[in-house]
């Protein structure tokens, strides 16, 4: 039985929609293929509630060449990160990922695959606010600055310059809260409400 990325993604989504910390928040959203660090990397699945959680998938058809690079970028953004790997990579990745990252392993037999929680993630204490604020669109950073009375002379500045102004003048916790709310409330975006995702997956289950 071969396990592909889409198979792992479905197993992971079924795990996500049952997590208490996610289903208890009606505003929780799930985002597929979210760009981070100005498009330098793209994480497979992000979940946003009161924190920003990242899930990176490595199927048996993938390799681990980009993983160290991805680790460096994801560490700047996500409050928690979990790596989801095929069984052949499970032991190897424990020596690569940070101790605070979670690790899920996909095991299989001849007829089915299942997801095994090797370790749960812990909180990232090194989120870089300057990279976090760059998840916002330029107009959203302008809105953030306006809320805090920092709108003078900002229209001609780049998104990165606006981000630096925000980081210099606004508490990191307040920026993080604003970023989460903006991501959760964007219209016509690639996010899915967790409850709707749960309903969709439930409908796909065999009777």
Predicted local distance difference test score (pLDDT) of residue 149: 96
Q: State pLDDT tens for residues 117-126.
A: 999 999 999 9
- Average predicted confidence (pLDDT) for the chain: 89
- Do 107 and 27 sit in the same domain of this protein? yes
Domain count along the chain: 2
Yes or no: say if 23 and 17 are a contact pair by the CB < 8 Å rule.
Answer: yes
Q: Which two tokens mark 191?
A: 């996010």
Angstrom distance (rounded) from CA 94 to CA 163: 34
Q: What is the CATH number of the domain that holds 194?
A: 3.40.1350
Query: How many CB atoms within 10 Å of residue 93?
Result: 18
- For residue 85, give every residue at least 6 positions away whose Cβ sits within 8 Å of its Cβ, in sequence order, or none: 57, 58, 93, 103, 104, 105, 106
pLDDT tens digits for 77-114?
999 999 999 988 999 999 999 999 999 999 887 778 89
12 and 57 co-located in one domain: yes
Give the domain extent around 170: 129-184
Q: Please tell me whether residues 17 and 111 are part of one structural domain.
A: yes
pLDDT (average), residues 176-202: 76
- Does 31 share its domain with 87? yes
Task: Answer yes or no: do 31 and 100 share one domain.
Answer: yes
């Amino acid at each position: 039985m071969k396990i592909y990325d889409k198979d792992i993604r479905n197993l992971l989504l079924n795990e996500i929609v049952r997590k208490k910390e996610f289903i208890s928040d009606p505003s929780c959203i799930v985002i597929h293929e979210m760009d981070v660090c100005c498009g330098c990397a793209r994480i497979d699945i992000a979940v946003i509630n009161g924190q920003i959680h990242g899930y990176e998938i490595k199927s048996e058809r993938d390799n681990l060449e980009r993983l160290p690079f991805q680790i460096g970028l994801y560490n700047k953004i996500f409050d928690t990160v979990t790596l989801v790997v095929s069984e052949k990579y499970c032991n190897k990745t424990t020596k690569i990922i940070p101790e605070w990252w979670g690790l899920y392993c996909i095991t299989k037999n001849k007829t089915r695959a299942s997801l095994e929680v090797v370790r749960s993630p812990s909180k990232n204490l090194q989120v870089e606010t300057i990279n976090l604020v760059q998840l916002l669109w330029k107009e959203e950073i302008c809105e953030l600055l306006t809320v805090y009375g920092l709108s003078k002379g900002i229209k001609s500045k780049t998104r990165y310059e606006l981000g630096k102004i925000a980081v210099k003048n606004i508490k990191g916790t307040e920026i993080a809260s604003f970023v989460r709310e903006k991501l959760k409330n964007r219209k016509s975006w690639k996010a899915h409400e967790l409850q709707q995702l749960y309903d969709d997956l439930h409908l796909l289950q065999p009777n």
